[in-house]
Amino acid sequence: MKKFKIEPVDRTIEPDIIRKIDNLTKPKGSLGMLEKLAHKICLIQQTLSPELKNPHNVLFAADHGILEEGVSISPKEVTWQQLSHFSKGGAGINFLCEQHRVNLVLVDAGVDYDIPSGHGIIDMKVRRGTRNFLHGSAMTEEEMNLCIERGAEIVDNIYKTTGCNIISFGEMGSGNTSPSAIWMHLFTGIPLEKCIGAGAGLDNAGIRHKYEVLSEAVANFKEQDTVVAKIAWFGGYEMVMALGGMLKAAELGMIILVDGFIMTSVILAASKLYPYIMEYAVFGHQGDESGHKLMLEAMGVRALLHLDLRLGEGSGAVCAYPIIESAVRMINRMDSFQSVKVTKYF
């Protein structure tokens, strides 16, 4: 498996960061989460004057064999149809990226369709969809490693060619709340039933069926009890490729802006391999998928927004990007009490 060098952030600069934030012309702590964000970003970038460069949202798409068990109301063809739709510019993630000046990168990680070239979609296809993890491993260890390498390659190329230092990840894959729920269960210990939600819109009977299928799948897990085995047995190609991208982003010292339920499960899995990745992560959005709030709480993190979104695609992360901008503007643009000769009033 590809190795990454992910170091904890150097906290030598921390007293200077706190001093600068506390001496801006405001009562101490009065800008709340903006102050905490600025603090974190300064630590990641090792500077008292942080900046955001060329934000990107990388959207990985792939299909899932578990869809054969009726765990989602979305048919498989929706994956490639939506990926094609993204390339034409008319989907949810498109208007959000356009509004917030975020570059959108589309990647075919394992869609069960041969998408014609010329659509601006990067072909990193590992296979036309994972296998059905009810009956065996969704992917081989070789395929898992390939996904990690290709996700890292995408991020490394973005970093080197654009200077991007803040990145989010989105996904498209019918049925991918199922592997995400299992990862959540396996990596937090939260009962599986509490990890499972409606996905694209299941009714109560559908959710119950989904629970029964996933319970049986977990019971059928026959590999060694390791993080790598759990990632390969239950993961999706788009999820593992995003995992590789996140690990590379942390290695490069980039800010990782985490989206909703699926991507939170991905960084959760990544943190079991490289715990220090969490020091580079900002959680953009608490989604409406059942279990997301519990997963965030289990990880000890708080999301910036809660807009009842459950679209995926990186939509919640991109919506949160302007708040990151505000935190950076705060520490860079606000005057200090000393500079404008205002008496501290707290």
Distance, CA of 277 to CA of 268 (rounded, Å) = 9
**Whole-structure pTM value:** 0.95
Which amino acid would we find at residue 232?
A: A
| Closest C-alpha among 110, 215, 98, 255 to residue 171 | 110
3-class SS at 315? Answer: helix
pLDDT of residue 288: 83
Tally Cβ neighbours within 10 Å of residue 49. Answer: 10
Give the domains, in start order, of the chain with CATH numbers: 56-327 (3.40.50.10210)
Q: Are strands 121-123 and 166-172 parallel, antiparallel or unpaired?
A: unpaired
Q: What angle do CA 167, 168, 169 make, to 5 degrees?
A: 130
Show Cβ contacts of residue 10 under 8 Å, excluding neighbours closer than 6 positions. 43, 46
Catalytic, out of 35, 143, 289, 313 = 313
Tokens of 28: 């101490």
3-class SS at 55? Answer: coil
Tally Cβ neighbours within 10 Å of residue 303. Answer: 22
Percent of the chain with pLDDT over 70: 99
3-class SS at 5? Answer: coil
Distance, CA of 247 to CA of 252 (rounded, Å) = 9
Could you read off the pLDDT of 161-194 as tens digits, one per residue?
A: 999 999 999 999 999 999 999 999 999 999 999 9
The answer, yes or no, to whether residue 203 has pLDDT greater than 80, is yes
The band of 198, judged by pLDDT with boundaries at 50, 70 and 90, is: confident
| Closest C-alpha among 97, 78, 33, 290 to residue 173 | 78
Residue bearing tokens 């069960």: 112
Beta bridge partners of 166: 255
Could you read off the pLDDT of 94-142 as tens digits, one per residue?
A: 999 999 999 999 999 999 999 888 889 999 999 999 999 999 999 999 9
The mean pLDDT value for 245-270 works out to 98
pLDDT of residue 340: 87
Distance, CA of 292 to CA of 275 (rounded, Å) = 20
Could you read off the pLDDT of 320-332 as tens digits, one per residue?
A: 999 999 999 999 9
223 is catalytic: no
